[in-house]
Amino acid sequence: MQTPPRRPVLVDPDEVLMALARNARVPVPLLRRLLHHRGARDEAARWRSDLTQQLAEEIDALGHGEATHALACNPDLPVGMKRRLVRGDDASVRSALAGRDAPLPRDLVEAFVADRSAQVRQAAAANRRSPSDLRARLATDPDPAVRAALAQWWTEAPEEVRRTLLTDTDATVRAAACATYFRRLPHPVPPADLHPALLADPVTRAGVVAHLDLDPATAHRLAADEDPDVRGALAEHPELPADLVALLGRDEDPMVRVKVFLRKDTAESLREVIHAGLLAGSEKTKMDPFDADEEDVFCSIAMMELRIRIVVWVLEDPLPYVDSPYPAFRRSAAAAGDALPRTAIARLFEDPDSEVRKTMAAAVSVLDPDTAERLERAHEENRKWPGSPADNAVFPPETMRRFATDPDPRMRALALRDPELPAEFVERLARDDEARVRREAAAHPNLPAPSLLLLLGDTDLRTARAAAGSPHLPHEAMEAILAVAEL
């Protein structure tokens, strides 16, 4: 193997140094030199899982307090360093420590629960690792923001804690304790004896609707409520009378209508009207966002809901919905995977909607390479919902080598998922015109060191970072980077 050049050309040395600081293969002596670069120091402080107490103290000292918050955000920080940071005056640092999803000694949690800063106590309230008896103390915290955080995050709190929060004197706390959305699952069920009071309270009304034994009079009263969240919660209630299903299906609020659309008992004629209206508003938002009114924006949000929702009642009986006119139902049917007949699976693999095809590919236990390739070539990428049909496929080596010379850059990038791809293919892909391909090549174990060093100077900064973070970057290359940066 060729000896890599000693001084690589770096388009953006700062970005390369920051990525190198996160590279787990960097030896401690080199890491110590990296710590003299501010950006690299912050990256190491926040992301390295192997920091010792001594290294953490060195970072803190070199940063003059600037890296302290980054250290506090590191869930793998040594306990001794956490104790040291807790004694500091910066509430944001203590808050970061209190909110990390990592085991903490009981005495530290006690300190967070009793901290003078509400910001710290709020973080402790949200932390699911806080011991229950200590966390329960926050139900009577003097700051309502802390109590509200506890209500939203501790969904499995003991009943006495939930009762305390549901009957809190502060409206924001009651609203958080009886909401339509919580920060964690499962959503809590309010005690039945509190239902009348929660229904009478405007801030808890929407949250309690789902738990009511719904009588016709109450249903009609709620259907006329001025709060769309109340009407929306009502639209999902399984005991909703048919006349109110029809009424709410024509509600002025698109988010109410979409919930009626998703009901099993909604008349198909009404479902069609709802979908057409939501689609029209959503399309108007796409064409000219500045000309779209508020309802159009909410139509777009409603359609987004349909893009991600798996409808449970469709999933439970998927076959009738394989040919549904609505992608949301076809995608929910596809989620049934191997439970579907082969003919249905084949139809869903041919679906015009890319997300339906991707769902079908992810749901089957075995996806044959030919089908996976065909789906991958037709797949429409979506940044909001990443992933692709190939994620659930195993391609033979000869197929991956064919992908390496494919005209489609997505397929060339896919070839680099094969850890056994020969070096000559990887080296050629590291010089690809498409940055996404070079970026994938940067982390490949078979990329020759000289080519990897060249990628450190790539004009695409994400590629340069990938090269610096590669576990296969030679130590001599790391030394060369530090030499260029004069560290």
Interval 116-136: pLDDT, tens:
999 999 999 999 999 999 999
pLDDT above 60 (res 2): no
- Per-residue pLDDT reduced to its tens digit, 430-450: 999 999 999 999 999 999 999
CA distance linking residue 100 with residue 80, whole number of Å: 15
pLDDT above 50 (res 66): yes
pLDDT of residue 4: 47
Task: Please compute the mean of the pLDDT values over residues 278-287 and round it to a whole number.
Answer: 87
pLDDT of residue 8: 74
Task: Please compute the mean of the pLDDT values over residues 145-171 and round it to a whole number.
Answer: 98
> Hey, is 367 helix, strand or coil?
strand
pLDDT of residue 279: 93
pLDDT above 90 (res 17): yes
Contacts of 449 (CB under 8 A, 6+ apart): 1, 2, 3, 4, 474, 477
What are 423's two structure tokens? Answer: 């070096």
- Per-residue pLDDT reduced to its tens digit, 170-211: 999 999 999 999 999 999 999 999 999 999 999 999 999 999
pLDDT of residue 223: 98
pLDDT above 50 (res 246): yes
Residue 188: burial class (beta carbons within 10 Å; 0-12, 13-18, 19+): buried
pLDDT above 80 (res 288): no
What are 472's two structure tokens? Answer: 């296969």
- Examine residue 186 and say whether the peptide bond preceding it is cis (omega within 30 degrees of 0): yes
Q: What percent of the chain has pLDDT over 90?
A: 82
pLDDT of residue 1: 44
Residue 66: burial class (beta carbons within 10 Å; 0-12, 13-18, 19+): middle
Higher per-residue confidence, 94 vs 291: 94
CA distance linking residue 454 with residue 200, whole number of Å: 68
Contact 256, 228 (CB under 8 A): yes
CA distance linking residue 241 with residue 234, whole number of Å: 10
pLDDT of residue 393: 87
pLDDT above 70 (res 465): yes
Of 161-165, 215-219, 285-289, 475-479, give the lowest mean pLDDT range: 285-289
> Hey, is 393 helix, strand or coil?
strand
Calculated CA dihedral for residues 324, 329, 331, 334, nearest 10 degrees: -70
pLDDT above 70 (res 7): no
pLDDT above 90 (res 263): yes
As beta bridge partners, residue 393 has 367
Q: What is the DSSP string of 325-341?
A: SSHHHHHHHHTTGGGS-
pLDDT of residue 409: 96
CA distance linking residue 6 with residue 14, whole number of Å: 18
Calculated CA dihedral for residues 210, 216, 218, 220, nearest 10 degrees: 100
Read off the pTM: 0.87
As beta bridge partners, residue 367 has 393
> Hey, is 2 helix, strand or coil?
coil
CA distance linking residue 476 with residue 487, whole number of Å: 14
Residue 389: burial class (beta carbons within 10 Å; 0-12, 13-18, 19+): buried
pLDDT above 70 (res 268): yes
CA distances for 86 relative to 43, 52, 94, 311, angstroms: 21, 17, 6, 46
Angle between helices 254-261 and 268-287 (to 10 degrees): 140
pLDDT of residue 6: 56
Task: Please compute the mean of the pLDDT values over residues 406-410 and round it to a whole number.
Answer: 96
Of the candidates 122, 123, 189, 192, the residue with the CA atom closest to the CA atom of residue 155: 189
Higher per-residue confidence, 341 vs 290: 341
What are 308's two structure tokens? Answer: 């991600």
Task: Please compute the mean of the pLDDT values over residues 9-26 and round it to a whole number.
Answer: 92
Task: Please compute the mean of the pLDDT values over residues 142-165 and round it to a whole number.
Answer: 98
What are 64's two structure tokens? Answer: 């003059």
Q: What percent of the chain has pLDDT over 70?
A: 98
> Hey, is 220 helix, strand or coil?
helix
Average model confidence (pLDDT) for the chain? 93
